[in-house]
Amino acid sequence: MTRQRNQVVWVQWRQRVDRQQASGLSIAEFCRKEGLSPHGFYVWRRKLRGTTPSRQRSRKVAAKRRWRKQRNVETRRRRSRPASAYLVGAARPSDFLPLPVTAMRPSPWVELSLADGTVVRLPQQNVAALITVLRVLRGEPLDLPSAERGHA
């Protein structure tokens, strides 16, 4: 009884997919007109194309393997950097690191204290130097004119 009911559903969806293709309507328009869910339509269309659960499983396994392989390559790349670049490079550009304000008096310098104890002190007015230092710490390539490479 269940098999027969299942066959009826498959035949109905095969007819719906064929009607949609013959109608020339977009899937969204066809589903709206027929009172169907577009998501359900896409699922059934994929099923009817012959994608079996075992093929889907093998695709998922292959995708997981690719992801692991890519992750391992990225991890090896990160480990090849110096320790200070690795610590700074671990933060994503979208991450925000709150920093406490330690000096109350105005200073003509911007001071960066790095995790390894290095202190970088830059003039407040030299925003370009600050940007350059931050790019170097994040491991970004520098695109400086040849005349300025010796100054950075």
pLDDT, tens digit (0-9, with 9 covering 90-100), for 24-64: 999 999 999 999 999 999 999 998 887 555 555 677 777 77
Q: 151 pLDDT band (50/70/90 cuts)?
A: low
The beta strand positions in the chain, using DSSP E, are 109-113, 119-123
Contacts of 116 (CB under 8 A, 6+ apart): 83, 84
The domain boundary, picked from 78, 101, 132, lies at 78
Tell me what pLDDT residue 27 has: 93
The domain boundary, picked from 28, 54, 78, lies at 78
Number of domains in the chain: 2
User: Within a domain: residue 139?
Assistant: yes
Do residues 73 and 115 both lie within one domain?
Answer: no
Token pair in block for residue 90 = 């671990």
Helix 2-23 vs helix 27-34: angle between axes, to the nearest 10 degrees? 120
DSSP conformation class of 146: G
Do residues 63 and 121 both lie within one domain?
Answer: no
Q: 23 pLDDT band (50/70/90 cuts)?
A: very high
The domain boundary, picked from 54, 78, 102, lies at 78
Token pair in block for residue 36 = 């169907």
Answer whether 0.85 is exceeded by the pTM. no
Do residues 74 and 108 both lie within one domain?
Answer: no
59-110 pLDDT, tens per residue? Answer: 777 777 777 777 766 655 555 555 554 445 455 556 667 777 666 667 788 8
Tell me what pLDDT residue 76 has: 57
User: Within a domain: residue 86?
Assistant: no
Domain interval for residue 22: 2-78
At which residue do the structure tokens 């292959």 appear?
62
